[in-house]
Amino acid sequence: MRFIKQVQYRDERLIIQNQLPVIVMSKFDLLEQTLLGNLDDTVPISLWRHYPYMDRTPEGLAEAEEAFHRVYDHDVMKISFHGRYPVVDWGCMAVYDGAISGSTTCSSCVIEQMSDWEVLEPLDVNSGEFGRQLRAVELIRDYAHGTVPTLATIFDSPMVASKLCYGTLTQYINEYPDVMKSVLEMINNVMIDFGRATLDAGADGVFIASQHSTRLTVSDEQYDEFVYPFDNKLISALRGKARYVVMHLHAQDPDDQVRFQKIANTPGISALNWEDQTAWPSLGEGKKISRKTVFGGIDHNNTLRRGTPDDVKEQIDNTAEEAGLESLVFAPGCVITVDTPDENLAALVRVVRSLDPFDFQ
């Protein structure tokens, strides 16, 4: 028997509407079924953005995340800590300079020369800036628990190291490989501690972000020696505790290519996310290569930001045709910009909610 489609998925109970049985599926079950490759009457959505200034306090970030979710009722809440949260406790100065991404940057970095790396020490993730993010997770848990799955954003160690040194990580790797391996190992252990702490604080899973998984950022040799081993260790350390592990592979350049095969086959990853609208592989290709659920299909920099509601509808329809709707969570390729029109976000949710997945079989 086919059931009447419902927009809300908050309760696992049988209700009656127009004398016909209607199953209202929770967002947790909807995500679980999607990760298993099973179609339901609704395709899930995940939306995320930064909240400049508000995200500098636990209370501000929690309030902003909750308000955003109340408006769009998306099915997976990625908790977007400000973009320099892992480096503040090591001595970097984080500021918001008006970037349309909404993320912070560093007005000063702790690493000015090689010797600065050698005095970095492990951090206690329960205090300082790390501790403030954990408090935000606890506050968000009070709203999200049992309502919507949450993913805490965890940066991999090369990404953190790059933010410590004005983005000159590859230069240090080339000149001082042995020292940098030790540094990356130490940073990785801190991020493992933080990832575990976010799960203890109430996050359902983690959203692991990497900015060094493409051919324009590091060479094959650098990736194999200074990126993938640390990503693999991070995933392995968190997979047993996290209900969900989503891997984000950052790549905006149209000429870039994500090193997809190795990371896609890494045990413990639930789903993958990358800028599928602007970099290789396409969403459909990525799904075939990985045989995993993919988060994507939305061009956050162009269509969603600069287009019209009709353009948004066309892109969603194209994604459905190109990639298919099984094992798909509609999501941006990266963070939604702060100047994205509200009407485009509303159109995105409206169109995805109106899709009948069985029309694309």
In the chain, the percentage of residues whose pLDDT exceeds 90 is 89
Beta bridge partners of 257: 280
Lowest mean pLDDT among 13-27, 42-56, 181-195, 241-255: 13-27
C-alpha 129/C-alpha 84 separation (Å) is 10
Q: How confident is the model at residue 254, as a pLDDT?
A: 77
Q: How confident is the model at residue 10, as a pLDDT?
A: 37
Decide: residue 171, CB within 10 A, 0-12 exposed, 13-18 middle, 19+ buried: exposed
Only one residue has tokens 């890494």, namely 266
Strands 271-274, 293-298: pairing kind: parallel
C-alpha 201/C-alpha 134 separation (Å) is 6
Q: How confident is the model at residue 253, as a pLDDT?
A: 78
H/E stretch holding 120 reads: none
Mean pLDDT across 20-24: 57
pLDDT tens string 64-117: 999 999 999 999 999 999 999 999 999 999 999 999 999 999 999 999 999 999
Q: How confident is the model at residue 3, as a pLDDT?
A: 28
**156: pLDDT strictly greater than 90:** yes
C-alpha 219/C-alpha 229 separation (Å) is 15
* CA trace torsion 321, 211, 234, 96 (10° rounding): -110
What is the residue-averaged pLDDT of the chain? Answer: 93
**6: pLDDT strictly greater than 50:** no
Nearest residue to 25 (alpha-carbon basis) of 16, 12, 37, 38: 12
Structure tokens at 31: 């995500």
Single-letter code of the amino acid located at 358: F
Q: How confident is the model at residue 357, as a pLDDT?
A: 87
Q: What is the pTM of this model?
A: 0.93
C-alpha 33/C-alpha 26 separation (Å) is 11
Q: How confident is the model at residue 215, as a pLDDT?
A: 92
Q: How confident is the model at residue 246, as a pLDDT?
A: 98
Is CATH 3.20.20.210 correct for 38-356? yes
Q: How confident is the model at residue 361, as a pLDDT?
A: 64
**161: pLDDT strictly greater than 80:** yes
C-alpha 91/C-alpha 296 separation (Å) is 35
Assess contact for 190 and 126: CB atoms under 8 A. Answer: no
Structure tokens at 212: 């060094």
Q: How confident is the model at residue 23, as a pLDDT?
A: 60
C-alpha 258/C-alpha 274 separation (Å) is 8
Q: How confident is the model at residue 14, as a pLDDT?
A: 37
Single-letter code of the amino acid located at 310: D
C-alpha 139/C-alpha 313 separation (Å) is 34
